[in-house]
Amino acid sequence: MNILVDTCVWSLALRAKTAAGVPYVGELKELIQEARACIIGPIRQELLSGIRDAAQFKSLRERLRPFPDMETSAEDFERAAELFNLCRSRGIQGANTDFLICAVAARHGLPVLTLDADFELYARHIPIKLHQPRGLH
């Protein structure tokens, strides 16, 4: 089964100094080797945003290019808004991209690999599954 990988995990994995020995980074590496790691366009955009150095931007862009974006549809964005509204009505705040990740993951039946504790709150109210690194179960 494929796994939708959140921005925070990709970001941590791409920082060589802090990545070593982190179970989520190791899990991402295994998912990549198994061709099971998935990304969506807004995650790619978050990863590439804010890089001031053009050479670093190009380097990261090239490192991410082997991973095709999962298709997102108008329905995904509408569902993300519904999920946002549902969680907000229950006192849970979240980012728009988080809810888009949830909507895409739910539509495809994919678990989400994330370090973001907000997803644990979302999972109490919306139909998403979270993927834990092997060995942390």
- Residue at 8 is within a domain: yes
- Residue at 135 is within a domain: no
- Residue at 69 is within a domain: yes
Q: State the pLDDT at residue 101.
A: 98
Q: What is the pLDDT of residues 45-67, one digit of tens each?
A: 999 998 999 999 999 999 999 99
Domain boundaries, position 78: 3-123
Q: How many domains does the chain have?
A: 1
- Residue at 109 is within a domain: yes
Domain of residue 92, CATH code: 3.40.50.1010
- Residue at 132 is within a domain: no
3-state secondary structure the chain: CCEEECHHHHHHHHCHHHHCCCHHHHHHHHHHHCCCEEEEHHHHHHHHCCCCCHHHHHHHHHHHCCCCEECCCHHHHHHHHHHHHHHHHCCCCCCHHHHHHHHHHHHHCCCEECCCCHHHHHHCCCCCCECCCCCCC
- Residue at 136 is within a domain: no
Q: Can you list the residues of the chain whose pLDDT is less than 50?
A: none
The reported pTM is 0.92
- Residue at 131 is within a domain: no
